[in-house]
Structure 1
Amino acid sequence: MAGLGEHITAMVRNHAAGDDAAFYSVALQIAAREARQGHHVLAENIKKAVDASRERKPLANVTALPRVRGDLAELVEVSHPQVKLRELVAPTERIAQIKQILAEQRQRKNLLEHGFAPSHRLLLEGPPGTGKTMTASVLATELSLPMYTVRLDGLLSKFMGETATKLRVVFDAVAAERAVYLFDEFDALGADRSGNDVGEARRILNSFLVFLENSSPESIVIAATNHRAILDRALFRRFDMVLDYTLPDARQAVTVMRGRLGSLAAKTDLTKLGRYTDGLSHADLVKAAESAAKAVLMRGETQVGREDVIVALKARRSASLG
């Protein structure tokens, strides 16, 4: 166990670097040290201070976003999400996976010192609107990191013939700037293709796999796809974790809608709506809730009724499912 002086030095360095996760990790190590020495009140106070600080949302200040220059600026979109884990509606096993990723990232220094890399290469697969991008936002928020989104379909079409070179630029940033890197529309790159472009597609995919294999554990690299079935099988063993996303069940659907409606549905019975929510994604349900809320507010009322929700769900089903 490092001495107290070394711990304090590490905390100062992490604070100066803006690495909140590492700062908290060292603080908890100090708390554990104090507890072992019998200083239980001090240890508990340190833990409470860490928990309270983590719960505090960072200020929404656009000047706090990293400045992206050069080639990287035309390859990524930068954001600073504000989405807490408690806002994500997902099955218990999915939440457990995300908590495991967060725990490993918060303890990454300790893991790396012992020769173990934290989970940092993630594949998220499932239908559109089921929470993949939101999960990336949750990880960025909980770890106080910026999120860089790479639109792979646009990258392939805009930089035809130099995609591998552009991918290197992104992965150089992965090593240089701790952040969450989301490769969206991953099917555009990871598809197991056939046809005249198979040689070029294979070259690009192989480049990505090499970059991914050697990516820095200081950042989180996420690939999101709507079509797992068409992905090249070589991809799966390169990821530390694969998270499967599905359409919400009836109970989850109600939770999603209540979360969006808030006090507008405090007294509304939203049970037994499965026939209307079946087949709708999380995004569809949010849109339906918003539609119901706006209709009610424009009538000058303050409570969304069950029938308002059903009407909105029917309209959404018609638009989404045909």
Structure 2
Amino acid sequence: MATIEQVKALMRMHFEDNHEKFKSIALQIAAHEAKIGHTASAREIKEIVQNPKYKAQKKLVKFNTKYDMLEQKIAEYSFHDLVLSEELESKVQRIITEYRKRDLLRKNGLKNRSKILIVGEPGTGKTMTASVLADELGLPLYVIRIDKLVTKYMGETSVKLRQVFDCIQEIQGIYLFDEFDAIGSDRSLDNDVGEMRRILNSFLQYLENDDSYSIILAATNNPKLLDKALFRRFDDVLEYKLPDLGQIQCILENHLDGLALNEVFDDQVYESAKGLNHADIVKVCEEAIKYSLINDENISRAMILSYTQDRKGLYRFKEA
């Protein structure tokens, strides 16, 4: 029988629309039922969870476009999934609040923050933030595919960039320029060419003139490569860093909440994950959950420590 903590966790996941976590907790309950001999109940729970007709259906907003550089994505994350510093959380919340009050601001000659530069190491939450904003504001999420935007043909990239900003004007949404340094690099760099300078100049002009109701996000892992003129064109800069010990604890608790744990985690567990990014720590949790389900064992601190070291081991090739 499910514990009261598991029931509460299931309720939270339901109301947060977190289907994957809901499924994980349900399978944990099934595993426990099987362990105590309630095989029929365990089988019924698994059949419900694994039945295709119960899969969550998230609909894409219809978006008729011939432009292959625009890709619509499903907003898979909610604000609960973000684990940020107080300062950064406040900045993200301010973007949401100002958007919701955008008409009031415009009536008074002001404009909500809608042009945001997001910088930070890979896996720290930059792309997730775009998804969270789309989810919170009920807007479609579009990712500008840089590989399709930047071409080898003279003048074609500028044309495509114009088309992107036409879409931004016509279709209200969250627009994410990922790997933005590909078009936003410093115009004074030695390897720069005239065409790329023209592209950046066009981007600066389009961004400055944009008066749409959309939100434009530009994300990069390499802010030092960006042209200095870019920074003043954005309404705000969000800087993402590797999680500290408190944030590591929050990430682990968020992803293991409601699951069967052998013991309470301590500082050694949190210290072991220091240096990993948000995505890495989530992966550690997923590996522990998989092992727990397959081997019918509760999640232990030793399990987390082991998968944390495995994850860190992946970076030895980069350091070498």
> What range describes the TM-score normalised by the shorter chain of this pair?
0.7 to 0.9
Percent identity reads: 42
> Mean Cα displacement is larger for which, 91-100 or 147-156?
147-156
Match of 1:121 in 2: 115
Matched letter for residue 258 of structure 2: S
* Partner deviation per Cα, 1:284-303 (whole Å, 9 max, x = no partner): 111111111111211122x2
Shift of 1:268: 3.6
Match of 1:168 in 2: 162
CA contact (8 A) 1:293 1:304 kept: yes
Asked if 1:243 corresponds to 2:247, the answer is no
* Partner deviation per Cα, 1:112-165 (whole Å, 9 max, x = no partner): 111111100000000000001111111110100010001224421476641111
Say what the alpha-carbon RMSD is for the aligned residues. Answer: 2.2
1:310 corresponds, among 301, 305, 310, to 305
Question: Aligned in 2, Cα 1:298/1:157: closer, same or farther, shift over 3 Å?
Answer: farther
Asked if 1:69 corresponds to 2:65, the answer is yes
CA contact (8 A) 1:254 1:271 kept: no
Alignment of 1:133-148 (within 5 A): 133-148=127-142
Match of 1:298 in 2: 294
- 3-state DSSP class of the match of 1:185? coil
Shift of 1:260: 1.8
The size of the alignment, in residue pairs, is 265
Q: Which runs of 5 or more structure 2 residues have no equivalent in the other structure? A: 1-14, 18-54
Tell me how far apart the structure 2 counterparts of residues 282 and 64 of structure 1 sit (CA, whole Å).
Answer: 27
Structure 1 residue runs of 4 or more that deviate by more than 3 Å after TM superposition: 59-64, 157-161, 265-268
Shift of 1:254: 1.9
Question: Aligned in 2, Cα 1:295/1:60: closer, same or farther, shift over 3 Å?
Answer: closer
Shift of 1:93: 0.6
Question: Aligned in 2, Cα 1:195/1:265: closer, same or farther, shift over 3 Å?
Answer: farther
1:101 corresponds, among 91, 95, 98, to 95
Match of 2:201 in 1: 206
Matched letter for residue 183 of structure 1: F
* Partner deviation per Cα, 1:201-227 (whole Å, 9 max, x = no partner): 111101111111111340000000001
Tell me how far apart the structure 2 counterparts of residues 132 and 99 of structure 1 sit (CA, whole Å).
Answer: 15
CA contact (8 A) 1:148 1:182 kept: yes
TM-score between both structures, scaled by the size of structure 1: 0.77
Question: Aligned in 2, Cα 1:115/1:266: closer, same or farther, shift over 3 Å?
Answer: farther
> Mean Cα displacement is larger for which, 137-146 or 266-275?
266-275
Asked if 1:220 corresponds to 2:215, the answer is yes
